[in-house]
């Protein structure tokens, strides 16, 4: 129970709920203000103008907030007015809806930034259909002015609100990244347990992908204008989180080999407890940030990890134990210790015990932030038949056209626009997302109809309903990303109550039943049209695989360059961070595409086993190179000439393997051989690191070859028998 309450509190204190509350307050101010000044009908229309600007209203950097909101307001107004003008001409209205839907859905070419704009444009047209002409006693110009007034007021309010809440958003996104990381830590800790079935690598990769998305959102905010000490401290904490992710990934190295030895079970179980304990500490720090408190000081767990090494040393005389396995276990213990060290630094920064030193890279941090300008390139390059945004736009236009024609034939055609609303929110670019929305939308609509029917049956006064709509809108906006079922319930309440405000004569019970019927029809249409001109994930897999291979090759080149150890500025370090980010992002995109393809028909699925193997090896290569970089930093004050050639040859070999180029002849052998024999490797954290660096490079080159084999198998044409990567 305590854990559930804690999780519920984290949700309530999250940026999603904060933006939802902000949106609800803005809608309340707009609708109530216009109601007090002009009356019920103008307030309802102004509320529609505000509602269409809410979908793109999220926690964003200050400099790009206005640009993210303007397209919804500027594009929504002419479409709203056009629908009003054609309200009594069903044929011409349909001829407007279909092409307008096509061009609206082309905004999906901008990815996650474009989807809210699609929703806004479609809502502007559909909600315009909801305004009965017999209640519009004023001119079309007056209605347009009310709509524009609501949009303009909300855009100004949302921009100001985002600026005022900027500091809070920075804290929330950092805390949410830490909570996502702690979940990944617990999953990784379970893999240390030798007595239970370990979590699948697929679960780890999905959590890695979720963390990558969360970290990008955090970068966009925390790395914007880090001029004050507080902002610099939060940015430094984000960098610590990034380092923790690397060390956590590196903790996977040699784990399977060590687990194969029964005599290592005690140490692995102890390390699992340590990682779980560290994850709890991360959760506590995140909770303290969300609640505006200073985190409690942490206890260094390095002594506990050192005790594990002593236990291994004392048991070294047991039969079957070898020094090489002891040193491997010691290396694993040290990598867990690196996580501990980063968490300690994170805690000291959060407490203000140390000052961040970020001046050297502050001016270059803009490279890690998502662009805020609306470039025309995504639109210019999609005019081809196989482009997914193009096919989705055609699919959506056909679905909306079908839904509109069907709404005209229904006996309750007055509210046929509800069918169109359902199609817009359910139909997605992939089948898996459409199916997920389908189930949540039906369940949420039924629950929302019951709730809205209860509200409207009380015959509440107009002013109270104008308060209920913003509250429901706040809930809907808060959970649109995290829990769509709740959003569907709240959105249904908004739709029914708003329709009642616009008409004032409908019978609530019939509206609820009608809403359920329209939802079922709309869901059915969206589901059916998800199979029309489908963009199956396998058509996107080749480009994603190629992006992954190029990103891995680039990261290897930069990570194995000694320039970051000798440079007088931070350019090499910045270059490595950018390459690392692209490597993680490319893997994340491939993980998400692979996951979406599972819901597709078996005949069109890509080769999932090969893709999962490629992803697993991709994360392993990142872990190997991260460990090499860590060891190079450990001996940065020593001469590096003894490993320079090996680093150069390994980088060239990995690059040529992943990019299918001609591999150069190595000037020295990478494989040191015999590493399992006693005495080959000394303690890597006391004596010579060179043998360990060479071993990691050798393993990295081998993993690169397996990645290439996985990619070749995954990209085989459909219909060919799948070849095992190990046999290629």
Give pLDDT tens digits for 367-398.
Answer: 566 666 777 777 877 888 878 889 899 999 99
List Cβ neighbours of 95 (8 Å cut-off, separation of 6 or more).
Answer: none
Neighbours of 356 (CB within 10 A): 18
As a whole number of angstroms, the distance between CA 562 and CA 638 comes to: 12
How many beta carbons lie within 10 A of that of residue 209, not counting itself?
22
Structure-block tokens of residue 274: 């340590």
Rounded distance, CA 102 to CA 104, Å? 5
Looking at residue 726, the DSSP 8-state letter turns out to be G
Of 99-108, 321-330, 415-424, 559-568, the range with the highest mean pLDDT is 99-108
For 415-463, the pLDDT digits (tens) are 667 888 888 888 888 888 888 788 888 888 888 888 888 888 888 888 8
Q: What share of the chain is helix, strand, coil (3-state, %, to 5)?
A: 75, 0, 25
Residues 182, 185, 188: CA angle, nearest 5 degrees: 155
Q: Helix or strand or coil: residue 68? A: helix
189 vs 717, residue with greater confidence? 189
Report the length, in residues, of the chain. Answer: 728
Is 250 in a helix, a strand, or coil?
A: helix
Comparing 51-65, 236-250, 482-496, 634-648, the range with the smallest average pLDDT is 634-648
Does pLDDT of 127 surpass 70?
A: yes
**Alpha-helical regions (H) of 251-371:** 255-259, 265-290, 302-314, 323-351
Band of the pLDDT at 604, cuts 50, 70, 90?
A: confident
- 166: DSSP letter: H
Percent pLDDT > 90 in the chain is 27
- Per-residue pLDDT reduced to its tens digit, 211-268: 888 888 888 888 887 778 888 888 889 888 988 998 888 888 888 778 877 777 888 8
From 662, 657, 655, 653, select the one nearest 698 (Cα to Cα).
653
Dist CA 469 CA 467 (whole Å): 6
Tell me if 168 sits within 8 A of 18, measured CB to CB.
yes
Q: Looking at the predicted structure, is the pLDDT value of residue 728 above 50?
A: no
The pLDDT value given to residue 414: 56
For residue 331, with 0-12 CB atoms within 10 Å meaning exposed, 13-18 middle and 19 or more buried, which class applies? Answer: buried
**Do the beta carbons of residue 67 and residue 374 sit within 8 Å?**
yes
Question: Residues of 639-673 as b/e, b for ≥16 C-beta within 10 angstroms?
Answer: eeeebeebbbbbbbbbbbbbeeeeeeebeeebebe
Write out pLDDT tens, residues 56-115.
999 888 888 998 999 999 999 999 999 988 888 889 999 999 999 999 998 888 888 888
Q: Which of the pair, 3 or 152, is modelled with greater confidence?
A: 152
Residue 570 has pLDDT above 60, yes or no: no
Q: Look at residue 668 in the predicted model and tell me its pLDDT.
A: 46
User: How many C-beta neighbours within 10 Å does residue 460 have?
Assistant: 15
**Phi, psi angle pair for 135, to nearest 5°:** -90, -15
DSSP code at position 297: P
Give the pLDDT score at 688: 62
Query: Contact at 8 Å (CB) between 720 and 613?
Result: no
25 in the Ramachandran plot: left (φ > 0), alpha (ψ -120 to 50) or beta? alpha
Structure tokens at 391: 């096919």
Other Cβ atoms less than 10 A from the Cβ of 148: the count is 18
CA angle 250-252-253, nearest 5°?
75
Token representation of residue 583: 């490597």
Buried b (16+ CB within 10 A) or exposed e, 252-275: bbbbeebbebebbeebbebbbebb
Both tokens of 333, joined, read: 């213990």
Record the tokens describing residue 696, joined without a space: 């990691």
Measured N-to-C along each axis, helices 40-51 and 114-129 cross at an angle, to the nearest 10 degrees, of: 160
Among the listed residues 492, 286, 499, the one whose alpha carbon sits nearest the alpha carbon of residue 412: 499
The more confidently predicted of residues 391 and 322 is 391
How high is the pLDDT of residue 209? 85
What kind and span of H or E run contains 156? helix 140-164
Q: Residue 546 above 90 pLDDT? A: yes
Average of per-residue pLDDT values in the chain: 82
Choice among 9-23, 44-58, 127-141, 422-436 with the minimum mean pLDDT: 127-141
Distance of CA 226 to the CA centre of its chain: 23
Torsion of CA 234, 239, 241, 243, to 10 degrees: -160
CA angle at 344 for the pair 343 and 348, rounded to the nearest 5°: 115
3-state secondary structure of 335: helix
What is the per-residue pLDDT for 596?
86
Radius of gyration in angstroms for the set of CA atoms belonging to the chain, rounded to a whole number:
29
Q: Which residues contact 414 (CB under 8 A, 6 or more apart)?
A: 132
CB proximity list for 152: less than 8 A, separation 6 or greater: 49, 73
pLDDT per residue over 282-300, tens digit each?
A: 999 999 999 998 888 888 8
pLDDT at 484 over 60: yes
- Give the per-residue pLDDT at 221: 87
Q: Helix (H, G, I), strand (E, B), or coil: what is residue 291?
A: coil
Do 79 and 124 contact (CB within 8 A), yes or no? yes
Using the predicted structure, report yes or no on whether residue 537 has a pLDDT greater than 90: no
Question: Is 104:118 a contact under the CB 8 Å cutoff?
Answer: yes
Rounded to a whole number, what is the distance in angstroms from the first to the last CA of the chain? 53
Supply the pLDDT for residue 327: 75
* Digit-coded pLDDT (tens) for 583-595: 999 999 899 888 8
Q: What is the reported pTM?
A: 0.86
Using pLDDT thresholds of 50, 70 and 90, give the confidence band for residue 159.
very high
Return the ∠ at Cα 490 (arms to 28 and 42), rounded to 5°: 35
The first and second tokens of residue 556, run together, are 């290897």
Please state, in angstroms and rounded to a whole number, the distance separating the CA atoms of residues 371 and 33. 35
Instruction: Report percent pLDDT > 70 for the chain.
Output: 83
């Amino acid at each position: 129970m305590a854990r559930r309450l804690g999780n519920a509190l984290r949700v309530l204190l999250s940026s999603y709920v904060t933006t939802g509350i902000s949106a609800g307050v803005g809608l309340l101010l707009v609708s109530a203000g216009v109601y007090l000044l002009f009356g019920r009908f103008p307030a309802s229309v102004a509320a529609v103008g505000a509602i269409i600007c809410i979908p793109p209203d999220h926690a964003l950097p200050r400099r790009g907030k206005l640009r993210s909101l303007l397209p919804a307001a500027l594009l929504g107004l002419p479409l709203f007015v056009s629908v009003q003008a054609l309200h009594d001409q069903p044929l011409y209205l349909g001829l407007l809806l279909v092409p307008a839907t096509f061009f609206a859905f082309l905004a999906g070419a901008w990815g996650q930034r474009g989807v809210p704009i699609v929703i806004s444009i479609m809502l502007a047209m559909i909600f315009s259909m909801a305004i009965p002409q017999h209640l519009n006693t004023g001119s079309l110009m007056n209605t347009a002015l009310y709509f524009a007034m609501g949009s303009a007021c909300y855009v100004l309010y949302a921009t100001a609100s985002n600026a005022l809440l900027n500091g809070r958003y920075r804290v929330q996104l950092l805390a949410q990244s830490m909570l996502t990381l702690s979940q990944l830590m617990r999953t990784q800790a379970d893999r240390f347990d030798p007595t239970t079935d370990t979590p699948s690598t697929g679960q780890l990769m999905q959590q890695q992908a979720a963390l990558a998305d969360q970290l990008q959102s955090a970068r966009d905010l925390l790395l914007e204008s880090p001029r004050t000490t507080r902002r610099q401290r939060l940015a430094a904490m984000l960098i610590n989180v990034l380092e923790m992710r690397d060390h956590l990934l590196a903790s996977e190295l040699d784990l399977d080999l060590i687990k194969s030895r029964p005599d290592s079970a005690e140490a692995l179980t102890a390390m699992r407890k340590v990682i779980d304990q560290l994850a709890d500490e991360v959760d506590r720090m995140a909770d303290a940030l969300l609640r505006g408190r200073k985190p409690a000081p942490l206890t260094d767990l390095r002594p506990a990890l050192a005790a594990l090494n002593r236990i291994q040393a004392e048991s070294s005389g047991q039969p079957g134990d070898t020094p090489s396995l002891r040193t491997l276990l010691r290396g694993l213990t040290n990598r867990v210790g690196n996580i501990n060290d980063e968490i300690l630094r994170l805690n000291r920064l959060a407490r203000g015990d140390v000052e961040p030193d970020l001046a050297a890279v502050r001016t270059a941090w803009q490279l890690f932030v998502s662009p805020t300008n609306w470039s025309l390139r995504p639109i210019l390059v999609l005019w081809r038949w196989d482009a997914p945004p193009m096919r989705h736009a055609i699919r959506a236009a056909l679905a909306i056209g079908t839904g509109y024609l069907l709404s005209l034939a229904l006996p309750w055609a007055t509210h046929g626009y509800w069918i169109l609303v359902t199609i817009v929110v359910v139909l997605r670019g992939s089948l898996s997302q459409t199916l997920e929305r389908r189930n949540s939308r039906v369940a949420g609509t039924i629950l929302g109809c019951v709730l809205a029917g209860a509200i409207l049956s009380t015959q509440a006064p107009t002013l109270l309903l104008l308060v209920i709509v913003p509250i429901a809108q706040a809930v809907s906006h808060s959970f649109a990303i995290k829990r769509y079922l709740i959003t569907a319930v709240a959105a249904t309440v908004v739709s029914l109550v708003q329709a009642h405000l616009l008409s004032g004569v409908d019978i609530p019970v019939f509206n609820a039943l009608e809403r359920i019927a329209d939802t079922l029809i709309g869901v059915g249409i969206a589901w059916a049209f998800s199979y029309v001109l489908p963009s199956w994930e396998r058509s996107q897999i080749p480009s994603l695989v190629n992006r992954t291979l190029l990103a891995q090759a680039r990261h290897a080149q930069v990570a194995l360059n000694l320039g970051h150890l000798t440079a007088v500025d931070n350019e090499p370090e910045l270059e490595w961070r950018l390459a690392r980010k692209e490597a993680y992002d490319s893997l994340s995109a491939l993980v998400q595409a692979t996951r979406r393809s599972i819901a597709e028909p078996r005949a069109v699925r890509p080769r999932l086993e090969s893709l999962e193997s490629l992803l697993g090896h991709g994360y392993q290569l990142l872990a190997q190179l991260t460990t090499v970089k860590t060891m190079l930093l450990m001996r940065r004050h020593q001469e590096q000439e003894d490993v320079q050639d090996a680093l150069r040859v390994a980088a060239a070999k990995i690059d040529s393997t992943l990019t299918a180029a001609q591999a150069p002849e190595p000037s020295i052998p990478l494989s040191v051989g015999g590493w399992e024999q006693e005495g080959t490797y000394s303690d890597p954290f006391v004596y010579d690191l060179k043998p360990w660096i060479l071993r990691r490079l050798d393993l990295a080159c081998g993993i690169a070859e397996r990645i290439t084999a996985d990619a070749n198998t995954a990209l085989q044409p459909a219909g060919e028998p799948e070849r095992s990567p190990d046999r290629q």
